[in-house]
Each structure stands twice: as structure tokens, then as C-alpha cells.
């Protein structure tokens, strides 16, 4: 009888210990996800716009400038 009680106690301890490990791992992964989410949002909001360049046939680069007006020509 005493051997059976010890077996039940060891099983209970096994499940309890593993439950605590899994909960700790889940909390750690949740913290990592939150940190990475904040970093992604920060870089999405505060990143600078990239510079765009056009190249001619002889290899010269010209920086493209943003214009608020449409590109129209009169014929």
C-alpha cells in the first residue's frame, strides 16, 4: 500500500513540474512575441523612406524627386 501511495505522489509531482515548465515557456514566448511586435511597429512607423535613383544609358545616376503634380505634356 505504501509503495502505491509513493507512486501516485511521484506522478502528481511529475505532472505539476511539467505544467509549471510549460506555463513558464508559454509566458516567455508571449513576452518575446510582444517585444518583437513592438519592434516591428516601431520600425514600420519611424523608418525613413528609401531614396530612388534612375540610371541613364551611360551609367549616370539621377535621384528621383517626389512631385505632387501629374506628369502631363502639352502637344
31-56 pLDDT tens trace: 999 999 999 999 999 988 888 999 99
In whole angstroms, how far apart are CA 36 and each of 32, 43, 45? Answer: 6, 11, 14
- The reply to whether 10 falls in a domain is yes
Share of the chain above pLDDT 70, in %: 92
- The reply to whether 23 falls in a domain is yes
What would the mean pLDDT of 49-71 be, rounded to a whole number? 86
Domain of residue 49 covers 2-63
- The reply to whether 71 falls in a domain is no
Question: Nearest Cα to 50, choosing from 35, 63, 69, 67?
Answer: 63
The pTM of the full predicted model, rounded to 2 decimals, is 0.58
- The reply to whether 73 falls in a domain is no
- The reply to whether 56 falls in a domain is yes
Q: Which of 5-9, 15-19, 47-51, 55-59 has the lowest mean pLDDT?
A: 5-9
- The pLDDT-based confidence of 75 (bands split at 50, 70, 90) is low
Number of independent structural domains in the chain? 1
Amino acid at each position: 500500500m505504501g509503495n502505491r501511495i509513493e507512486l501516485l505522489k511521484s506522478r502528481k509531482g511529475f505532472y505539476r513540474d511539467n505544467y509549471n515548465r510549460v506555463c513558464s515557456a508559454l509566458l516567455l514566448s508571449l513576452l518575446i512575441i510582444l517585444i518583437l511586435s513592438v519592434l516591428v511597429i516601431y520600425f514600420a512607423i519611424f523608418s525613413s523612406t528609401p531614396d530612388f535613383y534612375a540610371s541613364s544609358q551611360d551609367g549616370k545616376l539621377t535621384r528621383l524627386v517626389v512631385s505632387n503634380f501629374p506628369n502631363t505634356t502639352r502637344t
